[in-house]
Amino acid sequence: MTTRNICNEAVINCSPEQVYDYVTQPWRWHEWHPSSVSAEAAVTVLHEGDTFDEVICLRPLSPLPPSMLRQTHYRVITAQRPFAFEVRGETNDGGLCIRYDLAKQGATATHFRRQLTYHVSGPVRLIEPLLIYPRMKHLSALALANLKQKLEA
pLDDT in tens, 18-47: 999 999 999 999 999 999 999 999 999 999
pLDDT grade for 127, boundaries at 50, 70 and 90 = confident
pLDDT at 4 over 90: yes
Residues in the chain: 153
Q: Residue 80: name the closest of 138, 2, 17 by CA.
A: 17
Average pLDDT, the chain: 94
Q: What does R_g of the chain's alpha carbons equal in angstroms? A: 15
Mean pLDDT along residues 9-26:
98
The pLDDT tens digits for 40-90 are 999 999 999 999 999 999 887 777 778 878 899 999 999 999 999 999 999
Q: Are 57 and 37 in contact (CB under 8 A)?
A: yes
SS (HEC) of the chain: CEEEEEEEEEEECCCHHHHHHHHCCHHHHHHCCCCEEEEEECCCCCCCCCEEEEEEEECCCCCCCCCEEEEEEEEEEEEECCCEEEEEEEECCEEEEEEEEEEEECCCEEEEEEEEEEEECCCHHHHHHHHHHHHHHHHHHHHHHHHHHHHHC
Cis preceding linkage at 63, omega within 30: yes
Spell out the domain ranges in the chain: 2-152
The pLDDT tens digits for 96-106 are 999 999 999 99
Give the count of alpha carbons within 13 A of 98, CB side only. Answer: 18
pLDDT grade for 131, boundaries at 50, 70 and 90 = confident
- Of the CATH numbers 3.40.190.150, 3.30.530.20, 3.40.30.10, 3.30.300.30, which one belongs to the domain with range 2-152? 3.30.530.20
